[in-house]
Amino acid sequence: MASLPIDTAKFTGIICAVPPAPRVANRETGQLRVDRETGKTMYQVGLCLMAGASADVVNVSVAGEPAGVQLGMPVAVRDLVATPWENDGRHGVAFRAAEIRPLNAPAPAGKGAGQ
């Protein structure tokens, strides 16, 4: 299934609700999940997405450790996408971002202001 882009500019706030943690690929061996394109360790961050009077917490995967992101901190998210999935009768939506950084941190050079 195709990934669906999410316009993060529509949110009134995005807060780190669960600090970044490495994603585990194999619980028995402790092997960490690695991004196929970059070779970086995948991290998962729980983000509270706020829009008006509603808020949802979603787990978002990102390649590489989101430096400086801490619990309760407002964050900027670049290129957030939602990908519906189904496996053995189970289904859900996986969220992934190109970058998660503290809201007040400068965007990396050449990446644009981010959404």
pLDDT in tens, 4-13: 999 999 999 9
pLDDT at 109: 61
What are 27's two structure tokens? Answer: 């619980």
Instruction: Report pLDDT for 1.
Output: 63
Q: What are phi and psi of 9, to 5 degrees?
A: -65, -20
Q: How does pLDDT run across 20-74, given as a tens digit for each residue?
A: 999 999 999 999 999 999 999 999 999 999 999 999 999 999 999 999 999 999 9
Residue 61 identity (one-letter amino acid)? S
Tell me which architecture the domain covering 4-102 has in CATH. Beta Barrel (2.40)
What is the pLDDT, as a whole number, of residue 91?
95
Q: What is the pLDDT of residues 64-74, one digit of tens each?
A: 999 999 999 99
Which residues have C-beta within 8 Å of that of residue 112, sequence separation ≥ 6? Answer: 78
Where do the domains of the chain lie?
4-102
Q: Are 86 and 94 within 8 A, CB to CB?
A: no
93 closest CA partner among 8, 6, 30: 6
Bridge-based pairing state of the strands 54-63 and 42-51: antiparallel
Contacts of 1 (CB under 8 A, 6+ apart): 83, 84, 85
CB 33 within 8 A of CB 27: no
- Check: CB of residue 97 under 8 Å from CB of residue 60: yes
What is the pLDDT at residue 105? 72
2, 34 Cβ separation under 8 angstroms: no
Q: What is the pLDDT of residues 80-97, one digit of tens each?
A: 999 999 999 999 999 999
